[in-house]
Amino acid sequence: MGKIIVQGGARLSGEIAVSGAKNAVLPVIVAALLSEGDCVIQDMPQLADVSTICDVICELGADVEKINGKSVKINANNINNFEAPYDYVRKMRASVLVMGPLLARLGKARISMPGGCAIGTRPIDLHLKGFEAMGARINMEHGYIAAEADRLKGARIYLDYPSVGATENIMMAGALAAGTTVIENAAEEPELVDLANFINSMGGSIRGAGTKVIKIEGVTSLGGTTHNVIPDRIEAGTYMIAAAITGGELFLENVIEDHLKPLIAKLKEAGMQIEEKGTGLYVRGEKNMKAVDVKTLPYPGFPTDMQAQFMSLMTVTQGTSVLTETVFENRFMHAEELRRMGAHIKIEGRSAVIEGVQRLTGAPVKAPDLRAGAALILAGLAAEGETEIANTFHIDRGYDKIVEKLRGVGAKIQRS
């Protein structure tokens, strides 16, 4: 298994191009299953998860043709298989998103129950509640979830929690259902808005994506389109913290500042200089950043996907900060690894209390999940000496060329 080795101490300086958003491109690729035409998807990040989701839709009968490293052409006119194999769903929870399009196109879907993962149990009860409201019959058997519907009917669905995945799955099912579907207490993430724009460009009729109430008028069929994936706000946020934690300065190309408001506010509070320049962001860290408190919330609140990276920064700032994780019940796995590097962190239920230290020291650590792995790279950039990070497959699921991008701005980082 590959490792990433980081020699700490380098002050980063230069420009990084941000890639397309992982959490937008995954549902967009799945939504191509709704179309009977050619869908060209561009500005895609090169990630393990993108390859996996392409394998999943191929298994279902879609044609996927790589145009170049960042574009694919998908044609799902002849999809014929309604079962997503266990191996894929086990590898990547986002595979459950195929249920909506399969029910909409084939009237059937059979996927293995997604296992929990490092950050929590992550059930899909809200996805299934939506499908049942639309007339699907759901059965759990032998570790599989089987769903059937003659033709999905539009329904009014209230989500107990603004789940991103449930909102996306129901939106895709509603796109071809008979009548109108209204999702209330919907998630508002930018990636979901990108998905709605993609479906509308295929001939769909979705209004209100990005607000709490989304209205979907079902149509009888959807055609082809060309779509450019939005920039990855979490990748951008990760590099903002790389500048902060090394006291460096970076220009991040391809950033939508509006998608990063809570993180920008918090990093400015901690002492960072951040300003929008054209289609990018200029960010500059200061020595001795200040400790600030953060509570993760569904969008437009502070993103849970930035909590681990922010914790790394807080371990080397002056003062004590409290990070509260309200979205997932077990998303502090990185704390244990950061402690090995000399961080002072105490976990109290859903909160982590971090007392800043002068310096971290490099150590052998293990990435427990995707964002925790990124957080360990960030800590390694600031630590004294060498940090060796194992289980880097987690990191490669969600970061496009992270080693090359950091090395390009002066980080002493390599794979072993």
End-to-end CA distance of the chain: 9
Q: Which of 29, 124, 241, 345 binds ligand EPZ (CB under 6 A)?
A: 124
Give the active site residue among 39, 54, 58, 117: 117
The reply on whether position 304 binds ligand EPZ by CB under 6 A is yes
- 117 in catalytic set: yes
Q: Does 126 bind ligand EPZ (CB under 6 A)?
A: yes
Residues 77-116: x/- map of binding to ligand EPZ (CB under 6 A)?
----------------xx----------------------
How far is Cα of residue 416 from the mean position of the Cα atoms in its chain? 26
- Contact flag: residue 120 with ligand EPZ (CB under 6 A): yes
Give residue 18's identity as a one-letter amino acid code.
Answer: V
Q: Please report how close the Cβ of residue 152 comes to ligand EPZ at its closest, in angstroms.
A: 18
In the list 163, 309, 312, 392, the residue contacting ligand EPZ (rule: CB under 6 A) is 163
Across-strand partners of 250? Answer: 14, 283
Closest CB to ligand EPZ among residues 10, 196: 196
Instruction: Report d(CA 268, CA 285) in Å as an integer.
Output: 9
What token pair was written down for 27?
């549902």
Residue of this chain nearest to ligand EPZ (CB atom): 165
| Residue 226: strand pairing partners | 40
Interaction between residue 69 and ligand EPZ (CB under 6 A): no
- Cβ at position 397, least distance to ligand EPZ in Å: 8
E strands along 125-201, which residues?
Answer: 137-141, 144-148, 156-158, 180-184
> Identity (one letter) of the amino acid at 43?
D
Query: Taking the CB of residue 69, how many other CB atoms lie within 10 A of it?
Result: 10
User: Minimum CB separation from ligand EPZ for residue 117, in Å?
Assistant: 8
Cβ atoms of 232 and 303 closer than 8 Å: no
* Residue number with CB closer to ligand EPZ (325 or 338): 325
Q: Is 382 helix (H, G, I), strand (E, B) or coil?
A: helix
Residue 125 interacts with ligand EPZ (CB under 6 A): yes or no: yes
Residue of 70, 110, 371, 394 interacting with ligand EPZ (CB under 6 A): 371
Helix (H, G, I), strand (E, B) or coil at 4: strand
* Alpha carbon distance 356, 72 (integer Å): 45
Closest contact distance (angstroms) between CB of 110 and ligand EPZ is 18
CA distances from 116 to 92, 119, 123, 296 (A): 10, 8, 8, 20
Name the DSSP letter for residue 299.
T
Q: Judged by CB under 6 A, does residue 2 bind ligand EPZ?
A: no
Query: Would you count residue 222 as binding ligand EPZ (CB under 6 A)?
Result: no
Q: Is residue 370 a contact point for ligand EPZ (CB under 6 A)?
A: yes
To the nearest whole angstrom, how small is the minimum distance from the Cβ of residue 189 to ligand EPZ? 6
Give the burial class of 320: count Cβ atoms within 10 A of its Cβ; 0-12 exposed, 13-18 middle, 19 or more buried: middle
CB 308 within 8 A of CB 119: no
Q: Pick one of 82, 302, 310, 328: the residue that binds ligand EPZ (CB under 6 A).
A: 328
Minimum distance of ligand EPZ from residue 303's CB (angstroms): 6
**Does the protein bind ligand EPZ through residue 25 (CB under 6 A)?**
no
- Residue of 76, 166, 236, 378 that binds ligand EPZ (CB under 6 A): 166
Closest approach, Cβ 121 to ligand EPZ, in A, equals 6
Give the residue among 357, 355, 306, 359 at the shortest CA–CA distance from 334. 306
Q: Which stretch binds ligand EPZ (CB under 6 A): 10-18, 135-143, 161-169, 194-202?
A: 161-169
In terms of DSSP H, where are the helices of 176-222?
190-201
Residue 154's nearest CA partner among 181, 127, 128 is 181
Nearer to ligand EPZ, 65 or 160 (CB): 160
Residues that bind ligand EPZ (CB under 6 A): 22-23, 26, 93-94, 120, 122-127, 161, 163-166, 187, 304-305, 327-328, 370-371, 398
Residues marked as catalytic:
117
